[in-house]
């Protein structure tokens, strides 16, 4: 699955150093490019992206080398037409791959319920190590609400915990958002709560 920006463009085709057709194995270059394109298109399918993430993505070097060979082959009259066509298709598949990857990663984050619950336990441990008796749990259907309970929570305390003093969120809040939490609820144990929405940015 492609993840690097497309590097070959029409201008690349026009400026690449000319090569002798005899030095290029046009048949192999085109065959390799077709095979790579099939794999890229297959990996971009929604149901396959997750599997590709686990098994390993198509190497960037392989995509780059294939594109470079096609750019050079595009200067040889006998292979120019198909080389340019395959090059355009591979670049299109790269763009589609980035979009598919972004969608897959977002879904993976949403579905990572155990990851959020484990994080809540670790965060609670970090607070305890720092001398704060904060109870932390991940609640909700997909554990997307982070609940923190501490008898000493107050409005200033919550503000300092979530704001770096320059009207920007702290790294802690950024982490919560990246893990797929939708909101954080702070409770003082006496009926007062503060809610921080963590909508994706």
User: Is residue 188 assigned to a domain?
Assistant: yes
- Point out the domain boundary residue: 84, 111, 138: 111
Residue 141 CA: distances (Å) to CA of 25, 85, 110, 116, 136: 57, 48, 11, 12, 16
User: Is residue 1 assigned to a domain?
Assistant: no
- Domain of residue 84 covers 10-111
Whether the Cβ atoms of residue 105 and residue 200 lie closer than 8 Å to each other: no
Please check whether residues 106 and 141 belong to one and the same domain: no
Closest CA to 42 of 32, 27, 52, 56: 52
What global pTM score does this model have?
Answer: 0.57
Provide, for the chain, the percentages of residues in helix, strand and coil under a 3-state DSSP scheme, each rounded to the nearest 5.
60, 10, 30
Please check whether residues 86 and 146 belong to one and the same domain: no
Token pair belonging to 109: 């984050």
Please check whether residues 86 and 133 belong to one and the same domain: no
Please check whether residues 118 and 181 belong to one and the same domain: yes
Please check whether residues 56 and 143 belong to one and the same domain: no
Position 187 scores a pLDDT of 97
User: Is residue 44 assigned to a domain?
Assistant: yes
Whether the Cβ atoms of residue 60 and residue 4 lie closer than 8 Å to each other: yes
Residue with the two structure tokens 């005899």: 22
Position 201 scores a pLDDT of 56
User: Is residue 5 assigned to a domain?
Assistant: no
Closest CA to 161 of 191, 107, 123: 123
Position 168 scores a pLDDT of 83
Please check whether residues 102 and 117 belong to one and the same domain: no
Please check whether residues 45 and 75 belong to one and the same domain: yes
Whether the Cβ atoms of residue 121 and residue 136 lie closer than 8 Å to each other: yes
- Point out the domain boundary residue: 111, 129, 159: 111
Please check whether residues 85 and 129 belong to one and the same domain: no
Please check whether residues 129 and 104 belong to one and the same domain: no
CA angle 126, 150, 177 (to 5 degrees): 60
User: Is residue 46 assigned to a domain?
Assistant: yes
User: Is residue 27 assigned to a domain?
Assistant: yes
Number of domains within the chain: 2
Please check whether residues 164 and 124 belong to one and the same domain: yes
pLDDT means per 10 residues, the chain with 201 residues, are 38 43 79 94 73 70 94 89 94 89 80 94 96 96 96 94 85 93 95 90 56
Please check whether residues 78 and 49 belong to one and the same domain: yes
Residue 13 CA: distances (Å) to CA of 80, 128, 137: 10, 61, 56
- Point out the domain boundary residue: 89, 111, 133: 111
User: Is residue 150 assigned to a domain?
Assistant: yes
Position 106 scores a pLDDT of 78
Position 76 scores a pLDDT of 87
**Which helix (H) or strand (E) segment is 159 a member of?**
helix 155-162
Token pair belonging to 37: 């394109």
User: Is residue 2 assigned to a domain?
Assistant: no
Position 6 scores a pLDDT of 36
Strand partners, 187: 149, 193
Residue 26 CA: distances (Å) to CA of 35, 41, 73, 118, 154: 14, 22, 7, 53, 71
Spacing of C-alpha 150 from chain mean position: 34
């Amino acid at each position: 699955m492609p993840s690097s920006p497309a590097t070959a463009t029409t201008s690349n085709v026009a400026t690449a150093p000319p090569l002798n057709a005899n030095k290029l194995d046009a048949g192999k270059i085109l065959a390799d490019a077709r095979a790579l394109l099939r794999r890229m298109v297959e990996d971009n399918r929604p149901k396959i992206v997750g599997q590709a993430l686990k098994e390993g993505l198509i190497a960037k070097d392989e995509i780059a080398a294939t594109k470079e060979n096609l750019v050079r082959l595009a200067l040889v009259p006998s292979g120019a037409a198909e080389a340019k066509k395959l090059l355009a298709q591979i670049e299109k598949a790269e763009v589609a791959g980035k979009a598919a990857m972004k969608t897959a990663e977002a879904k993976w984050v949403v579905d990572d319920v155990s990851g959020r619950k484990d994080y809540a336990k670790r965060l609670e441990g970090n607070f305890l190590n720092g001398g704060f008796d904060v109870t932390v749990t991940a609640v909700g259907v997909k554990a997307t609400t982070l609940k923190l309970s501490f008898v000493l929570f107050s409005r200033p305390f919550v503000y300092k915990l979530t704001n770096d003093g320059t009207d920007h969120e702290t790294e802690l809040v950024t982490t919560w958002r990246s893990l797929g939490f939708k909101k954080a609820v702070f409770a003082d144990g006496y009926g007062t709560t503060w809610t921080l929405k963590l909508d994706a940015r």
